Amino acid sequence: MSQDPHELFESWLAEASAAEPNDAEAMTLATVGGDGAPSARMVLLKGHDRGGFAFYTNSESRKGTELAATGRAALLFHWKSLRRQVRIEGRVGPVGDAESDAYFASRSRDARIGAWASDQSRPLASRAAFEARYEKLVAEFEGRDVPRPPYWRGYRVVPDRIEFWSDRPHRLHERRLFTLCEDGGWQEGLLYP
């Protein structure tokens, strides 16, 4: 039964990319606020390797401030067409500036301007105000590159727990749990469904 959880994840993600109609990389990101209240939202996985699972956002958003405060997060991939899910829990930290710059530069020009226009998670007076702000920035950046805003960056969840869930008949589902050991290896076990 023993297998490297990162290799197993890559295999499952490849199968999901072929089977899911949209966004196999979509994942729920769960954080916790200073008051202990949980918060969850969908984000897109933008990179995965043995170093962790990367995504990008506004560091001044609700998720950004909660990640900075706790240094921990949970991720959930749910691939309905395959009847599978993967749960990941671990430490989270910022991706380096060079990596954040590179990913930001790969985004469409409109998306880069949108990152400047959005005060993510803060109150918005009206949709018209947001669109006007965006159009003003389109004009300001006319004819020049759109740099990464200083508050926009990547985060990497470095897992200490990865659970692979597979649907089985009669609700006798399979749950494989990988737990990070002190030596950096993984211990694998099963959980009751």
Give yes or no: 171 in active site: yes
* Catalytic pick among 41, 62, 171, 176: 171
| Spatial distance between the Cα atoms of 83 and 19, rounded to a whole number of angstroms | 11
| Spatial distance between the Cα atoms of 90 and 11, rounded to a whole number of angstroms | 21
| Spatial distance between the Cα atoms of 105 and 90, rounded to a whole number of angstroms | 28
Phi, psi of 36 (to 5 degrees): 85, 0
> What is the residue whose two structure tokens read 């606020």?
33
3-state secondary structure at position 5: helix
The alpha helices in the chain, defined as continuous H runs, are: 5-19, 62-70, 97-106, 109-117, 127-140
- Residues carrying an active site annotation: 171
